[in-house]
Amino acid sequence: MAILEVAEPGGTRVTGRQAAPSLGRRALTVAFVLVTLGFVVATVANNWEQVQAHPWSIDWVRLALSTGALVVVLGFAVAVWYRVLLRFESGRGNWKSLARIWFLSSIGRYTPGKIWQFVAAAALAKRAGLAPVVVLTSLVVYMGFGLLAAGVVSAATLPLSVLGLDVPAWTTLAVAAAAAFGFCHPAVINGALRLVPRAVHREVLVWEGSWADGIVIVSASILYWGFYGLAFYLFLDAVVGVPYEAIPILAGINALSFLVGYLFFIAPAGLGARELIITVLLASVVGGAGIAGAVAVLSRLWVIAAELIGAALVLAVSPGTTNDGS
């Protein structure tokens, strides 16, 4: 059992127990990751001649640039999350404190169970003098905005034929955009938040932002995925070489891979799910499924490297704890 103790805005404490993943769920997680990654490995193996024939030549300068760009993009995500946090009562803090929580807790995403990122974020929020329940709720709401934006970017940039769909592109984009901007209405957000008391045994938190605030945050999240797509392009260009005209579709592939990774919540950090999507959709861009599979695995290492660099930077800038929350 993991024990999570959080401080309420009024100063009282709520202690909740979060059950550790059951043996059955752990087995399901392992099975899912093995099957999806096994598909990627099998794809590379079955196309090994293709992989060997590819003129691999890593541009280390561009690779470093892409990694640095990704760190900056993740920092931009923290700024969007901060805007979400401020729309809650008792929501406070600053970018620096939230960046520390973001990068350090992100390491927990790779632990089976999906709860450890939030356990770590709660502990870090408490050390920073912030209300953990408010921080965690705002983080979940931010992730919801991000997934809605990922759907819009995917619909706007990916050819539907690649997904096996015979639907006009404008139809899919219109549906995705309508869903994204509709779900960010305060009534929808607060309706979802009313489900929280059953989980944490406390009075529900209220999103105090307007519909316009939600639209701005979804739009900022769309920009985030666009910037992420640019960093992804720099990474791919450094590793296998891709034309800059492919940036839109790469942004869509990247956004969709993360969207699917989040939806398959049993996989830590979307492990396996994200690589599967990249392998399938990137093949036509990089010259074959085998190359796409190899790149998918490398892209995971690239993301981890950026997250670790971000964590190292926030530790270097603020090695101690922050207690003012201002």
User: Over the stretch 230-289, which tens digit does the pLDDT of each residue have?
Assistant: 999 999 999 999 999 999 999 999 999 999 988 877 777 778 889 999 999 999 898 889
Query: Which DSSP category does 19 fall into?
Result: P
Asked if the structure places residue 137 within a domain, the reply is yes
User: Which pLDDT belongs to residue 68?
Assistant: 97
| Residue 287 backbone class (left: φ over 0; alpha: ψ -120 to 50; beta: rest) | left
Is 83 a domain residue?
yes
The amino acid occupying position 77 is A
Q: How far apart are CA 7 and CA 237, in angstroms?
A: 46
Within 13 A of 170's CA, how many CA atoms are on the CB side? 0
For 89-93, 291-295, 310-314, which range has the lowest pLDDT when averaged over its residues? 89-93
317/305 Cα distance (integer angstroms): 18
d(CA 128, CA 200): 21
pLDDT above 90 for 317:
no
Pick 37 or 298 by higher pLDDT: 298
Domain total in the chain: 1
Q: How far is CA 63 from CA 12, 57, 71, 240, 290, in A?
A: 48, 11, 13, 11, 21
d(C-alpha 59, C-alpha 99), whole Å: 29
Asked if residue 136 is part of any domain, the answer here is yes
The amino acid sitting at 187 is A
At 106 the pLDDT is 87
Q: Indicate whether 130 belongs to any domain.
A: yes
What type of residue is 217? Answer: I
- For the chain, the C-alpha Rg in angstroms (whole number) is 20
CA distance 261 to 277: 9
pLDDT higher at 322 or 23: 23
What's the token pair of residue 89? Answer: 């009562």
Mean pLDDT for all residues in the chain: 83
Rounded Cα distance between 129 and 138, Å, is 16
Domain residue limits at 311: 59-317
pLDDT tens string 92-134: 888 999 999 999 998 877 766 567 788 888 899 999 888 888 8
Q: What percent of the chain has pLDDT over 70?
A: 83
Please compute the mean of the pLDDT values over residues 153-161 and round it to a whole number: 83
Which of the pair, 31 or 202, is modelled with greater confidence? 31
Q: Is the pLDDT of residue 170 over 90?
A: no
125 within some domain: yes
Q: Which long-range contacts (CB under 8 A, 24 or more apart) does 203-206 make?
A: 205/88, 205/89, 205/133, 205/134, 205/137, 206/88, 206/89
Say whether pLDDT at 83 is over 90.
yes
Answer for the pair 231, 310: CB distance below 8 angstroms, yes or no. no
Predicted local confidence at residue 319, as pLDDT: 66
Average pLDDT in the 33-47 region? Answer: 83
Among 52, 55, 51, residue whose Cα is nearest residue 288: 51
Question: DSSP string covering 169-224, please?
Answer: HHHHHHHHHHHHHHHTSHHHHHHHHTTHHHHH-SPPP-B---HHHHHHHHHHHHHH
> Is position 85 within any domain?
yes
Q: What is the pLDDT of residue 39?
A: 78
Domain membership flag for residue 264: yes
The DSSP secondary structure of 68-124, one letter per residue, reads HHHHHHHHHHHHHHHHHHTTBTT----HHHHHHHHHHHHGGGGSTTS-HHHHHHHHH
Angle at 208 between CA 5 and CA 116, to 5 degrees: 30
Tell me, what amino acid is at 151? G
Which amino acid makes up residue 185?
H
Q: What is the pLDDT of residues 215-236, one digit of tens each?
A: 999 999 999 999 999 999 999 9
Is 90 exceeded by the pLDDT of residue 78? yes
Q: What is the pLDDT of residue 3?
A: 38
Q: Give a yes or no: residue 301 inside a domain.
A: yes
